[in-house]
Chain A
Amino acid sequence: MPRYFTDEHEWIDVEGESATVGITDYAQEQLGDIVFVELPSVGTMLDKGGDAAVVESVKAASDVYSPINGEVTEANGALEDDPALVNTSPEDEGWFFRMTIGDASQLEGLMDEAGYKAFVDSL
C-alpha cells in the first residue's frame, strides 16, 4: 500500500478507495509530549491543505492539514484515551483519521518515502 507525505509532515496511506492520515515521526519529535488531539468528526468534508485536526502538545497547539480532498469516514478513538500514542507510534497506532479519496490526482503532488526523507534532511 503506497504511503505519501506532505511538506507539512502528514503521511497518507492509500488503500483502494480509502486513505489513512497521520503525522510523521519527525513531526511528533518536533511537537514534543502530546496531551490532546482534536479530530474531525465523521462526515466532515476536507479540502487539500485545509485544517483537519489540532494537536496539543504541552507547549502549544498545532494544526494538522488534510493532504487531499475527501470526506472523513473514521477518527482514531484510541487517541482520546491515549494521545501519547502519537509520540510512541506516530506512523502506525497513532493515526488520526480515515477519509475518502476525493481527487486521486492530488496524490501525485505528494512526496514518497525517499522524497520525504530528503526533505527532512534538508530542514
Chain B
Amino acid sequence: MSDETIEEQAPEKLPLDGWHRAQGGRMVPFAGYEMPIQYEGIVAEHDWTRQHASLFDVSHMGQLGVSGEAAGEELEKLLPGAITSLKEGRMRYSLLLEENGGILDDLMVTNAGPQYGLVVNGACKWDDIAHLRDHLPDEITLTHYDENALLALQGPEAVGALSVLVPEAAELVFMTSDYFDWDGVPLWISRAGYTGEDGFEIAVPAEHVEKLADALVADDRVKPAGLGARDSLRLEAGLPLYGHDLSTETDPVSADLIFALTKKRREAGGWLGHEHVMQLFDDGPARKRIGLKIDGRMPAREGAEVFAGDTMVGTVTSGGFSPTLGHPIAMAYVDTAHTEEGSELEIEVRGKRLSATVTSMPFVPHNYYRGSK
C-alpha cells in the first residue's frame, strides 16, 4: 500500500476563520478544523473568563437533530439517561455507549420541542452520526445542522453582555434552552457550557455568526478566548474531555459519570451497554477517574504514571497548571483502593516523583445560575 492512500485531509476552516485571524488568534489544527488556540495568552484568557466573560468558537462540534414519532424512546435505546421525561427546553448530559459499555462520545441532549437536539464532540461527530444512523429506525430523521455555527459565551458577566442583545435570555437557568430572535436572526440559546462558569451556548446560522461575534466582543466585558483556556478551565471544573479522559477504553462507572445514568433507567435497562455497565456498577470498577492536586509547580501531563510506593496504580489522562489555584492539577484513572479523598500518591514525570493528593472535583467551584434565590 502506498502512503498516498492514507494522506490526511487538510483541516477545514470555521465560518469565523477570518474573524479569528483578524482578532489575533493563533490557529492550530484541532478535530479536523483550524481553530484558535489563543489570542493574547492562555492565562490572561483563562482569568478573564473566571472574572468577566469570554467568547469561544465551538463551531467544530456537531449539532444534530433527532425527530420523528417516538424519537425520545428511540434515543433512550442508545443513551443511558432519561430522555422521554425531559421537559421541553430542558437538557441533560449523556453518553453514547458501545455494547461493552465503552464510551463512544459524551454529549448534551435537549428537548427542543419538535425534536431532540444533540451537541456532540467535533472529533467524534462523523462516527456518532454513523452510530446513530445504524441504530435508529428509518422513521427517525437525523439532521446534521452543519450550516450552523456555535458560540460559547462563558463567565460571570456573560449574562449581562448577552442581555444587551437578547434581554429574555437572562431568564434561562442552568441546563435550559429556547429559541430567541436577535434582529431577525434566529438563535438557539442554552444556559450551559464547559468552563464551570455561568454562561451560554448560542447556535446561530453561519452567515450571521460574524455579526453576532462582533456584537458580543463590542461589549467591554467580553473578549475572545481560545482552545487553550477552554482546556484549562474545563480541567479546573473537573469536566472530562473526550479522547483524553473518556474513550472506548473507559466506561461511565470508571469515569465517575454515574449521574448520567438515570436511576430509573439503570434499573429498567433497555439501552446499549446496560448489561456491562450495570455489572461494573454492582461489582465496583477496578479503577476510577479522580482528581489530583500536585505539590510544587511542575505539571504532570497525560500519560504520566501514578504510583503508591513502588506500585504503579494509575495513569494521568489530563493534567496542567491551574491558573486559578496556582499549582498543577490532574485527572487520572487510579486503582479503586487508592481513590479515597486525601490519599497520598506520587506521579512520575521525567524520572522524578511528584507528590500528589487525591482531591474531590471540581478543583474550582462551579458557578452555575440555577435561578434567583
**A contact set with B: CB distance below 8 Å:** 32-33, 35-36, 38, 54, 56-61, 83
A60 proximity list for chain B (CB < 8 A): 301
A32 proximity list for chain B (CB < 8 A): 38, 41-43, 228
Question: Are A58 and B298 CB-contacts (below 8 A) given A32-B38, A38-B350?
Answer: no
Inter-chain contact B350/A35, CB cutoff 8 Å: no
8 intermolecular pairs with C-beta atoms under 8 Å apart: A32-B38, A32-B41, A35-B297, A58-B232, A58-B323, A59-B228, A61-B299, A83-B297
Nearest chain-B residue to A80 (Cβ)? B297
Question: Are A36 and B41 CB-contacts (below 8 A) given A59-B231, A59-B320?
Answer: no
A33, A38, A61, A83: the one contacting B301 at CB < 8 Å is: A61
What sequence of 0s and 1s flags, for each residue 307-344 of chain B, a beta carbon within 8 Å of any chain A beta carbon? 00000000000001101000010000000000000000
Question: Are A58 and B321 CB-contacts (below 8 A) given A32-B228, A36-B299, A38-B298?
Answer: yes
B321 proximity list for chain A (CB < 8 A): 35-36, 56, 58
Q: A36-B297, A58-B43, A58-B46 are in contact. List 20 more A-B contacts (CB 8 A).
A: A32-B42, A32-B43, A33-B41, A33-B42, A33-B44, A35-B297, A35-B299, A38-B298, A56-B297, A56-B299, A56-B321, A58-B320, A58-B323, A59-B37, A59-B42, A59-B228, A59-B231, A59-B320, A61-B301, A83-B297
Q: Which of B33-64 contact A (CB under 8 A)?
A: 37-38, 41-44, 46
Nearest chain-B residue to A61 (Cβ)? B301
Nearest chain-A residue to B38 (Cβ)? A32
B298 proximity list for chain A (CB < 8 A): 36, 38, 56
CB distance from B67 to the nearest CB of A (A): 40
CB distance from B299 to the nearest CB of A (A): 5
A33, A54, A83: the one contacting B350 at CB < 8 Å is: A54
Cα distance, A31 to B44, chains bound together (Å): 14
A83 proximity list for chain B (CB < 8 A): 297
Nearest chain-A residue to B43 (Cβ)? A33
Interface centre among A54, A59, A60, A61 (most CB of B within 10 A): A59
Cα distance, A85 to B350, chains bound together (Å): 23
**B contact set with A: CB distance below 8 Å:** 37-38, 41-44, 46, 228, 231-232, 297-299, 301, 320-321, 323, 328, 350
CB distance from A57 to the nearest CB of B (A): 8
Nearest chain-B residue to A60 (Cβ)? B301
Closest 4 CB pairs of A and B: A35-B321, A33-B43, A36-B297, A58-B42
Cα distance, A32 to B38, chains bound together (Å): 9
Nearest chain-A residue to B297 (Cβ)? A36
A58 proximity list for chain B (CB < 8 A): 42-43, 46, 228, 232, 320-321, 323
B37 proximity list for chain A (CB < 8 A): 59
A35 proximity list for chain B (CB < 8 A): 297, 299, 321, 328
Nearest chain-A residue to B37 (Cβ)? A59
A54 proximity list for chain B (CB < 8 A): 350
Cα distance, A106 to B321, chains bound together (Å): 37
CB distance from B340 to the nearest CB of A (A): 28
B231 proximity list for chain A (CB < 8 A): 59
Cα distance, A110 to B232, chains bound together (Å): 37
Cα distance, A57 to B321, chains bound together (Å): 8
Interface centre among A33, A36, A83 (most CB of B within 10 A): A33
Nearest chain-B residue to A81 (Cβ)? B297
Nearest chain-B residue to A56 (Cβ)? B299
Nearest chain-A residue to B232 (Cβ)? A58
Cα distance, A56 to B319, chains bound together (Å): 12
CB distance from A33 to the nearest CB of B (A): 4
Cα distance, A104 to B350, chains bound together (Å): 30
Cα distance, A43 to B168, chains bound together (Å): 66
Cα distance, A82 to B161, chains bound together (Å): 35
Cα distance, A61 to B298, chains bound together (Å): 10
CB distance from A76 to the nearest CB of B (A): 15
Cα distance, A38 to B352, chains bound together (Å): 11
Cα distance, A32 to B231, chains bound together (Å): 15
Cα distance, A58 to B37, chains bound together (Å): 12
Interface centre among B42, B44, B321, B323 (most CB of A within 10 A): B321
